[in-house]
Amino acid sequence: MRRADAGEHFHRSPASKSVVLRDIWTNFERWNLKAVRNPFTLTVSVVMPIIWLVGYTQVFKSLTLLPGFPADSYLAFFSPAVIIVMAMFAAATSGMGLVDDMDMGIFNKQLVSPMNRSAMFVGKICSEALRLAVEVLLLLALALALGAHVVTGLGGIVAIVLIAELFSFVFVAFSNIVGLVTRRSDATALISNFITLPLVFLSSSFVPRSLLPAWIQTISAFNPVTYGVNAIRALMLDGWVWTTIGPAIGVLVVFDLVLGGFAVVLLRRATDSGTTPSVRGHR
Amino acid sequence: MTKPLTTTNHVDNRAATASRRAISLTDLWFTYYNGTTAVRGVSLDIRKGEFFGLLGPNGAGKTTLIKTLVTLLKPTTGHVTVNGVDAVEQPVAVRNSVGYTAQDTSVDPELTARENLQYACKMYRVPQVERADRIADLLQLVGLEDVADARADTFSGGMRKRLDIATSLVHRPPLVFLDEPTNGLDPAARLRLWEHLREINAQGTTVFLTTQYLEEADHLCNRLAVIADGELIARGSPAELKQQVGGDTLEITLQTTTPTDVARARRAVLESDHLGEDAHVGLTQDGLVISSPRTRQIGTKVLVALEERDLSVTQFNIRSPTLDDVFLTLTGETFDETHQEKATLSSTEHVNEEVNT
């Protein structure tokens, strides 16, 4: 009989590398499927940045006439900022997905299974990274079609996607932290979206840093948006300017490690049985 | 590397007993971080193949107990052994050997029934070659073959629950936990689910179910424990538990309720010879109340006996003991401690006293 001697073969060895990779793939697939099933979210997260791109470049067109403005076309100047905004919008949904899984009991279902804990999150983040890469490429294609150029060519486009990912991870971590602290999907969406606008204004997104008021210049030095925008802008307008790109990557990595580390601590606590009281649990 | 779970070289009686046990709990306590102690010193053994029911009101500790068994919570103190494995020391081994259906239905609404099952198969690392067959079997088991490729958000509550249960069976666990599986289902869906659960148990799976309804436990389980405030206050077969309450109750409303008529009716019933020795006949405001372990068999005869003496019955009702009755008998308290409930309760007690005289 199939269940008669259950005991022995359930004592499997600790998960091997290939098993972990398969677990990552399992979750990667699930989140990809969910993304496709959610055309509304997908559409909004692409259309919104397009509106930014077209709208702002029309409104601020004449800014390039200012003395000292470093670009001839505002479209080329502003596209990097839109890529960064896109990365922030995409990241904001990450924590929501986690909280939704917790609300629906799917999180506990995963915890009750032998699946590798880290693989649950790594697979999910990989899916989000894939989605962002597609979105960034779509936006770049639009910008190029409208007349912008990427002076660093194909290699530059790859680098732009990677920097967008590096930048996005800061906010993926942030969104998950908010989700794990509030355990509310609406709060996570609201807070994650709420920080987007101020961070964009308090950076070099709209005008070069030298044209910003002094106090915003000071704040922008601590703002990850500044570094993401500057690095992508260098790649689009100026070429492989490592004095800009190098430090920007360094700063983003530091942000990633700090926020990512905090998120991992919270996730560990949420997955380690018995250390957190169940939020919505029944007795 | 496979760790031997018990020494098999020489005969060990304890090991032999353990291998027949699906669950063994020893003095389990669980206190949440906010200080609430939800489980207080529970010890319990469940044999393989049993359909076990844990009965108790909301907040009694049922879910906490299940969560410690499925490794979602670590016991504060005490030992939890599931399928012969210590749940704290080898949680992954336990996870591989149990299925768990939480109280709140947990299926991904954006995925189809088949996709939900596929994901579950992957979670439990079911070999790819076996997946399609197993998913087909499970869809049939829970009666969802026709909607296999419809998204779960188009399903009714009962269908979702059945899908949820199916996803917890993909790895063919020898032991499944179901936390109030019929909660919120309409009566038809509930009956249907009962059938599926019986079928699962008949296939050799040990079932651990929690419920608030004695009726449900009675239908499904061969052994029960009653939990209140985190402690097990009774255990036994459904029949044994109901015996403590004294069987079903027949309530009769008479057309004329003058004291002489009611007394005459009572005499008629007592003299009718249909009642066993362990039956009680009591008086209420508008008639009689009869309770006996054989109430259902004697009901009609009692009504006929009354009719023969020209005592018209306007209403009658046979009622099973509810969990509340069991609870009342065991603890002297009802589930809900509201003032109103207590008031009704004391009048019930009053009737019961009369019945016993």
Which residues 25-64 on chain A approach chain B with CB closer than 8 angstroms? Answer: 26, 30, 33-34, 37-38
- Whether residue B194 lies inside any domain: the answer is yes
Residues of A whose CB is below 8 A from B119: 26, 30
- CB-based contact A70:A151 (threshold 8 Å): no
CA pseudo-torsion sign B250, B253, B259, B265:
negative
Helices A153-182, A117-145: crossing angle, 10 deg rounding: 130
Judge whether B67 lies within some domain: yes
CATH number of the domain bearing residue B286: 3.30.70
Domain extent, residue B91, equals 13-242
Predicted local distance difference test score (pLDDT) of residue A273? 56
Statement to judge: residues B205 and B279 lie in one domain: no
Note the pLDDT tens digit of each residue in B164-198.
999 999 999 999 999 999 888 888 888 988 998 99
Starting at the edge strand found earlier in the chain, the sheet holding B37-47 runs B37-47, B21-31, B77-82, B85-86
Looking at the structure, do residues B255 and B107 belong to the same domain, yes or no?
A: no
Judgement on whether residues B235 and B278 belong to the same structural domain of the protein: no
CA A230 to chain centre: 17
Total beta-carbon pairs less than 8 A apart between chain A and chain B: 140
pLDDT per residue as tens, chain A (283 positions): 343 333 334 444 455 788 999 999 999 999 999 999 988 888 888 898 899 899 988 888 888 888 878 888 899 899 999 999 999 988 988 999 999 999 999 999 999 999 998 999 999 999 999 999 999 999 999 999 998 999 999 999 999 999 999 999 999 999 999 999 999 989 998 898 889 889 999 999 998 888 899 999 999 999 999 999 999 999 999 999 999 999 999 999 999 999 999 999 999 888 875 444 444 444 4
Judge whether B114 is closer than 8 Å to chain A, CB to CB: no
CATH number for the domain harbouring residue B188: 3.40.50.300
B108/A1 CB distance under 8 A: no
Tell which of B201, B218, B242 closes a domain.
B242
**Nearest by CB to A3, which of B3, B73, B172?**
B172
A3 touches chain B (CB under 8 A): yes
Nearest Cα of chain B lies from the Cα of A182 at a distance, in angstroms, of 17
Q: What is the pLDDT of residue A7?
A: 39
Distance from CA of B246 to the nearest CA of A (A): 30
Question: Same domain for B233 and B87?
Answer: yes
β-bridge mates for residue B319, sequence order: B249
CA proximity to B68, closest of B81, B85, B56, B55: B81
Q: Do A33 and B110 touch (CB under 8 A)?
A: yes
Q: Is residue B75 part of a domain?
A: yes
Q: Do B123 and A276 touch (CB under 8 A)?
A: no
Does the beta-carbon distance from A11 to B85 stay under 8 Å? yes
CB A71 within 8 A of CB A237: yes
Which residues of A fall within a CB distance of 8 Å from B33?
275-277
- B247 in reach of chain A (CB within 8 A): no
In a domain, B5, yes or no: no
According to the model, what pLDDT value does residue B324 have? Answer: 66
Q: Are residues B227 and B285 in the same domain?
A: no
pLDDT confidence of residue A224: 96
In a domain, B65, yes or no: yes
- Along the 357 residues of chain B, how does pLDDT read in single tens digits? 444 444 444 444 555 555 789 999 999 999 998 888 999 999 999 999 999 999 988 889 999 999 999 999 999 999 999 999 999 999 999 999 999 999 999 999 999 999 999 999 999 999 999 999 999 999 998 999 999 999 999 999 999 999 999 999 999 999 999 999 988 888 888 898 899 899 999 999 999 999 988 888 888 999 999 999 999 998 998 888 877 776 788 888 888 888 888 888 888 888 877 777 667 777 777 888 887 777 878 888 888 888 888 888 888 888 877 666 677 667 655 554 433 333 333 333 333 333 333
CA distance A69 to A210: 9
CA distances for B117 relative to A52, B93, B152, angstroms: 41, 21, 11
Last residue of a domain, one of B209, B242, B275: B242
Chain B, residues 129-158, CB within 8 A of chain A, namely 151
Q: From CA A245, how far away is CA B211, in angstroms rounded?
A: 62
Predicted confidence at residue A283, as pLDDT, reads 46
Residue B1 lies in a domain: no
Domain boundaries, chain A: 17-61+68-271
Do B291 and B261 share a domain, yes or no? yes
Interface confidence, given as ipTM, is: 0.84
In a domain, B7, yes or no: no
CB contact under 8 A, A278 and B58: no
Which has the closest alpha carbon to B184: B104, B109, B116? B104
CB contact (8 A) between residue A10 and residue B83: yes
Reduced to 3 DSSP states, what percent helix, strand and coil does chain B have, rounded to the nearest 5?
40, 25, 35
- CB contacts of B61 in chain A (<8 Å) are 283
Q: Do A67 and A142 meet the contact criterion of CB atoms below 8 Å apart?
A: no
Number of domains in chain B: 2
Q: CB–CB of B32 and A277 under 8 A?
A: yes
Length of chain A as a residue count = 283
Interface test with A, best of B28, B40, B67 (most A CBs within 10 A): B67
Distances (CA, A) of A185 to A30, A94, A124, A182: 19, 10, 17, 8
pLDDT for the residue numbered B80 = 95
Q: Report the sign of the C-alpha dihedral through residues A185, A186, A189, A190, in that order.
A: negative
Nearest to A114 among B36, B95, B103 (CB): B95
Q: Do residue B301 and residue B175 come from a single domain?
A: no
Do B41 and B171 sit in the same domain of this protein? yes
Question: B220 and B265 share a domain?
Answer: no
Shared-domain flag, residues B216 and B273: no
The answer to whether A11 contacts B83, with C-beta atoms less than 8 Å apart, is: no
**Do B217 and B262 sit in the same domain of this protein?**
no
Which residues, 6 or more positions from A166, have their beta carbon under 8 angstroms from its beta carbon?
A228, A249, A252, A253, A256
Last residue of a domain, one of B184, B213, B242: B242
CB proximity list for A224: less than 8 A, separation 6 or greater: A167, A170, A199, A251, A252, A255
CB atoms within 10 A of CB A136: 26
Mutate to test the interface with B, among A32, A113, A276 (most CBs of B within 10 A): A113
Residue B288, judged by CB atoms within 10 A of its CB (0-12, 13-18, 19+), counts as buried
Domain membership of residue B4 (yes or no) is no
Among candidates B33, B59, B110 on the partner chain, residue whose Cβ is nearest the Cβ of A37? B110
Same domain, residue pair B257 and B190: no
Angstrom CA distances, A236 to A245, A262, B143, B180, stand at: 12, 33, 58, 59
Phi-psi bin for B231: left (phi > 0), alpha (psi -120 to 50), beta?
Answer: beta
